[in-house]
Every structure is written in C-alpha cells, then in structure tokens.
Structure 1
Amino acid sequence: MSPPEFAEKMVDAGQTKALMSTRDTLIRSYMAGAILGLAAAFAVTITVQTGNALLGAVLFPVGFCMLYLLGFDLLTGVFTLVPLSWLAKRPGVTFGAMMRNWGLVFVGNFAGAITTAVMIAITLTYGFSVDPNEVGQQLGTIGESRTVGYAEYGAAGMLTLFVRAVMCNWMVSTGVVGAMMSKSVSGKVLCMWMPVMVFFYMGFEHSIVNMFLFPAGLMMGGDFDFTDYLIWNEIPTVIGNLVGGLTFVGGMIYATHFRTAPQRTPKNAAAPDERASVDA
C-alpha cells in the first residue's frame, strides 16, 4: 500500500471511530485497556524474574498486537486518527464528536486497566492476604519513581515527563499507522512490534499502560498517592501523548501524503503548449 493510500485509510479510520456508537466505543476501549494492562504485568514479571529488561520490552508488544488485531481502541490511537477526519471535514466529524470519542475511550481504557490491576493485585497477594511478591514490589517501585521521582526535580521533572510522553506516542502511533500498510497478519504484527518495543524499553510514558501500573502500584504499597499519580504522571502523559501522536505521526502524514503540495516545475521546462508545438 502506497503512502497516499494509507493516509486515506487513516482518515477513513478516524471517521469510523468518531461516529461509532457509545456502547461499542466503551466496549472496545475497555478491552484495550484490560489487555494492555495484562501485557504490562507480563513484561514486568519477565523483567523481575529474568533480570533482563530488554527481554521484557521485546515481549511486551504481544498485548498491543492482540488488541489491535481484535479491533479494540486505545486513547493514543484515537488521538492520532480522529483529528485527521476532522481536519478533512468528513461528514459528521465535528469538534464535539472528536472530544466525545476521546472522552469515552479514556473512560473505557481506564476502567479496563483498573480491572486488570485489581486482578493482578489479587493474584500477587492471594487476595490481599499476604505481602506482595517481588513482582508486586516492583510495581510499587515503578509507581514511586515515575511520580514522586519526577516531582523531586520540579519543572525539569515535569518537562522530562512531558517529553517522554510525546516520544511514546510518536512510537506507538507509528506502529498503529504502520500496521495499516500491510494486509497480512504477520506484516501488521511486525510493523507494530518494532516501535512499541522501542517505547517500552526506553521508558517512555504511555497513558494507558500507566492506568494499570500506578493503580497496581498503589495496591502493592507504593509510597505515593492518587494525587501524585494524576498530577505527576497521568495528566501530563495524556497531553504529551496527544502532542506526540498528532504532531509527529498523524499531522505529518496528513500534511505530506493526504494534502500533498503541488510539484515544483523545473525552471527550464517548456510549458505544456510549447511542448505540444515542438512535438508536432
């Protein structure tokens, strides 16, 4: 599939998501949040048990690929796709429709991620009857380091958090868009796997992964609170994810492949009428 073709496909996908029913939007976003949370727990478990963070990052994308192939929706994806259909003035895609979609997907993702966090916490503590094992302790540590850890640096910490969120959705949305280029399952998986692996190993901030990690960390006894999570992670991460996906992926592809500028005419090229007379 050529770049202009998948650019058109991106705009079509954004329109479909913006006009989707409330029920379907919530179901699909709920399942996306739940599956991605499970993938995050899987990656943390691998890292703790093997001591190899790279191996955890290599295997984390299995969850992302599953939810994409099943047609579920992440906030990071709709941040990139839905605005393009609004910019293209697709029928029914108003600013209000776009905000409605983002709000519903956020709620669904959060509910799904929280569900997985509770289930993982139960499995790691035998129903909260024993202290967390090594994996549970690591979840608590992650929550501390990526909330109060940023807060220790003040404005510099907030800037670092925001930039990591921007770079995260630069990679994740590249995976979403890349998957549109292939018609085979194996091709889609390969296109998604590489950039998602990069974001996870580099420690970039993904708003939906964090919807699992931080509530789970709180349940595992992490030394931070829910306000720390919102102010020093989730809210800046959501904004950064929006900027990264829309600016570096959706906006760039839209500008150059969907709204392609006219080609330049060589200075010494003959005008069409002149070429016709010469040929005659």
Structure 2
Amino acid sequence: MTFDSFSPREVSELVSNAGTHKGHTRLDKVFLSSVSAGCLLAFACGTALSTNATPWFQDNAAGLIRTISALVFPYGLCMIILTGADLCTGSFMFTTAAALQRRLPWWRMLTHWGVTFLGNLAGSLFVAVLILGYGNVFSTEPFKSAVISFATKKQVLPDFHMVFLRGIGCNWLVCLACFFGMQGRDLASKVIGIWWPTFAFVSLGLDHVVANMTFIPLAIWLGAPHISVGLYIWKGIIPTLLGNILGGGLFCGTYYWYIYLLEWNAFPLYRLKQNGDSSPSNQVTAKEGDIEASAGVTDSGST
C-alpha cells in the first residue's frame, strides 16, 4: 500500500510557506477572504444548531446528538480550507511558523491576525443576522429554544478560565485539521484529514472564537434572557481568542516549527506521480508564492 501524502516535515515547510504568502497578501484581499470564511463557517454553525434541535435526544441521549451534530459540522471548515479563505484561527498557526522561520515580520503576523479576525466577525454577523436572523430560520420551536440553550451553556454556565482552556484545545485540533488538509495531495485525502480533528473539537464542546461569532449573536438576536453583548465580549471573545491563539500558535505553529524546521534550511518539495516515476519531468517543486494554506499544491504547481 502506498500513501500519496507529504511527510510531517514537508507539511511543516508548506505551513511556513503558506504563512509567508498569507502574511504578505494585500490587506483588502485578506479582509474579503476572511469575510468569506466567516460566512462559510456560519452556515455550518447553523447546521449544527439545527441538528441539536431535537428535544427527545437532548433529554435522553444528549451525548449522541452532540456526536451526530459534530459529524456534520466539519463541512464548514472543508469549504473554508478548500476555497483558500482566511480563518483567523488557522492564521495563528501559519503565520507563527512563518515568523519563527524569519520569513515574515512579527508586525505583519499581528496585522494579519487583526484583519482576519475582523473579517471573520463581519462575515459571521452577516449570515447570523441577515440570513439566519431576518430569514427567521430559527424563529420557531424547537429551533429557537435550541439556539438559546446552546448559547447559554457556552456563555453563562462556564467560568472565564474554563472557556480559555476549551479555546486552547479547540484550536489545537482546528490547526491539526489545517495541517492534515495540506498533507494529502488529492481532494478526498484533504477532506478526510480536515474532517476528523474538526469533529473532535465539536464533539467535545470546545470553544472556537469564529464559531462563537454565530452561536452567541444569533442567540442574542432571538432574545436569550441571560446573554448580553458585554457578556459575549467578556466570555465569548476574550478567553476564546486567547485560548485559540495559544492552541494554534504554540501547540501547533511553534511545536511543528521546533520539531521539523528549526536548524533546517528551506528545501524543495517534490511530488512524485502515482506510478512511482521519479524522473525530473515528473517532479514539481512547491514554490512559496504558489502555496495557499488550504489546498497545498496541485499537479500544475498552483493552488
């Protein structure tokens, strides 16, 4: 059996190259790409909430229905990664690796974080308010109660430090999904690689700052009694964002840079065709400007 995939060290190089490319992209493009990512993830959040709106399962098999919901949610991250959109949580890994490899200035890294965060927020609110909110997608029962109950469990019940720790675990897994999404060379491998770490964080109920940009504002829109904008900022953004930065930037970006790239120079990445022919005509070098964080490298050398 053969596996058509990059090695972990090669993926770490791709991650660093992708972070370099993303960090030097024009900010207007970064913002629009981030808006797209926020919109796409908001659709998946809506699907997760709809799946959870099952009163009998919530009362009798809450773990099972959360697992089923977690199985469908990853399509959102698949759409984001495969279209090359910018998610701030993925940026925490990509640009950190690039900055540590001295391919990207730290100020550009932080700028990219800020622009992607704002773009993700704009896209999430657009879908949450205009499409799901004004569209009355969750205005009837049991969907309305499910949204409010879900947001209450995420915002009102846990303490600040609990949300922070959940944020670390969440983006650790999300960035692993991005890592695996780059490791496979074919579309099916990428989707499978993205799917399971994303499933893991949702099934565990961990906190993702961009997902919360849909979950919590939608609950506020529907009149959740114990959730305010101030509470959302205090417990839905600040601890989750800090945890996501640590989970993606330290546990993935820094870790894989230290293990695979520290003390190593940049090296060419070669893709061999399925037939095992290693002749120069069947080798494609991955160029820094051609690599997006989402799709890896295609047979033509472009993203």
Name the TM-score, length of structure 2 as normaliser: 0.79
* Cα drift, residue 35 of structure 1: 0.7
Query: Which one is further off, 49-58 or 173-182?
Result: 49-58
- Write the distance in 1 (CA, Å) between the matches of 2:67 and 2:196: 13
Contact conserved, 1:37 with 1:117, CA < 8 A, in 2? yes
- Residue 3 to residue 125, structure 1, CA distance change in 2 (3 Å): closer
Identify the structure with the greater helix proportion: 1
Flag as ranges the 4+ runs of structure 1 deviating above 3 A. none
Q: After the TM superposition, which residues 8-157 of structure 1 pair with which residues of structure 2 at under 5 Å, given as runs?
A: 8-49=13-54, 51=57, 52-90=65-103, 93-118=104-129, 119-124=131-136, 132-150=140-158, 157=159
- Write the distance in 2 (CA, Å) between the matches of 1:112 and 1:136: 22
Provide Cα deviations, 1:123-155, integer angstroms capped at 9, x if missing partner.
Answer: 3369xxxx54322221122222222212xxxxx
* Cα drift, residue 260 of structure 1: 5.5
Does the residue aligned with 2:18 lie in a helix, a strand or coil? helix
Provide Cα deviations, 1:207-244, integer angstroms capped at 9, x if missing partner.
Answer: 00000111001001112100000101211100000001
- Write the distance in 1 (CA, Å) between the matches of 2:239 and 2:191: 29
Contact conserved, 2:93 with 2:248, CA < 8 A, in 1? yes
* Cα drift, residue 102 of structure 1: 0.6
Percent pairwise identity: 27
- Write the distance in 1 (CA, Å) between the matches of 2:185 and 2:50: 33
Q: After the TM superposition, which residues 131-210 of structure 1 pair with which residues of structure 2 at under 5 Å, given as runs?
A: 132-150=140-158, 157-210=159-212
Does the residue aligned with 2:97 lie in a helix, a strand or coil? helix
1:259 pairs with one of 257, 262, 284: 262
Contact conserved, 1:31 with 1:112, CA < 8 A, in 2? yes
Q: Which residue of 2 aligns with 1:243?
A: 246
Structure label with greater radius of gyration:
1
Name the TM-score, length of structure 1 as normaliser: 0.85
Equivalent residue pairs, number: 249
Contact conserved, 2:19 with 2:94, CA < 8 A, in 1? yes
Cα RMSD of the aligned pairs, angstroms, is: 1.5
- Write the distance in 2 (CA, Å) between the matches of 1:260 and 1:245: 22
- Write the distance in 2 (CA, Å) between the matches of 1:56 and 1:146: 16
Q: Which residue of 2 aligns with 1:3?
A: 8
Contact conserved, 1:32 with 1:67, CA < 8 A, in 2? yes
Contact conserved, 1:121 with 1:136, CA < 8 A, in 2? no
Contact conserved, 1:132 with 1:220, CA < 8 A, in 2? no
- Write the distance in 2 (CA, Å) between the matches of 1:125 and 1:249: 37
Contact conserved, 2:100 with 2:257, CA < 8 A, in 1? no
